Structure 1
Amino acid sequence: MRGNHGGRPGAGWGGWNGSSWTGQTLTCSSNDRRRRECRTPFNGRPVLVENISGTRCVEGVNFGGGGGIMWVDKGCRGRFAEGRGGWQVGKPGTGQTIRCESRNNRETTCGTGFRGRAVLVRRLSDTRCVENRNWGQRGSNIWVSGGCRGEFAEAGGGWGGGANSSYSVTCSSENNRRRTCAWDRRQGRPVVIENISKTRCQENANWGWDGNQIWVDRGCRARFGAR
């Protein structure tokens, strides 16, 4: 049952499943390890402010969202706020991202409106998304299969926040050892734009960012772009 639909920040705003908005942060909880959805009074992507659960909340793994709704899963409980300068989902041709998901390993085709080449900017599935293997592009459409779920953008389309979309750094943890790579902090915050290793690269788990450096560890090898 839906709560009060009013989007005015402050006490009394209610989402689904007992979520609450304090005027700055939203609490959304997967109390029984099941997927839960919470309405948000903002349209941007949610970012984790405080991890309340014993389970670590990782974006794209056990929480995510945008467009007024967020989801949590697998025991993630946290306080979330609106991410600034991030990508918006579902507005093709504007330098923003399109979500395309293969459910039950079936092939899905998603219209994008892209004129140029599509690139994977965020993987949402446990399955690794590999271009021309389980995702690709046919004209202005993207296809995904084999369980690949991801968010895609138009290459060179400008991914928000004034970042340079052509700037990228490849950083590799060889032999599972920690390594640091130089990052131009003027470009903004780094994000994984291509997971090169079999090991899944997860921020704050096996890679991170410290101003002018990216660090990778435990086998993470990836290409990082500017948000």
Structure 2
Amino acid sequence: MKRWLSLVLAVLASALAAPAAYAQNYNGPTVSCASRDGGYRECYTGFRGPPVLVNNVSDTRCVENRNWGSRRPGTVWVDDGCRGLFREGMSFMPPPGPGPAGSRVVRCESGSGAYRECRVNRYATVELRRQLSNSACLEGRTWGMRDDRIWVRDGCRGEFMVTAGSGGGWQPGPGPGGNYAITCESQDGRYNTCNWDSRYGRPGRIQQLSETRCTEGYTWGFRGDEVWVDRGCRARFFAR
């Protein structure tokens, strides 16, 4: 009886330990990120998939979404004394489907890490459809839109969905928004909100006006009938 009970406990212990063993044995480069003096810090990883904690280096326990996590691709953040070693986890995103009517795919590549521009229509909506490089393609950092061009740098290679308006040829802005746009500015690095006509949906793309990078979810965002900007982001926001 004791021998049978010991066998059952051993099997249960093995099953519970499986996720940790998988994380430790996952083959790939690691990135260290440390919260110094208990403060917030964000580290660049270059991962295409989500970061996975493989080693808790600090005395403080690192708990995902409490004192560590990822707010955008290619980065990991830590806070409240968490110091950890991270690897790239598996990404289960399905392959992209066909784009909307009036769209086309433009391939733009930063060869050998160099800056490059690819021409598109000035009023088109551009979205990253598929990343082709090992280097992370992060909007506002390694790729973006400037006037009538997509720009890439630091090794970003991607396929971009470029959507035009309906009717013959390229139109000045797809969808019901037409050429509707607003300019919103974070003055002296302060948080600011600007009115947005929600009838036009959410902003589809931006034209960055500041030297500070405008990164969605970090230095700008959209909420109901407002666009918000922060940390020096100044940009012109276009309707889809």
Q: Normalization by structure 1: what TM-score?
A: 0.48
Answer 1 or 2: which has greater helix percent. Answer: 2
The structure number with the bigger radius of gyration is 2
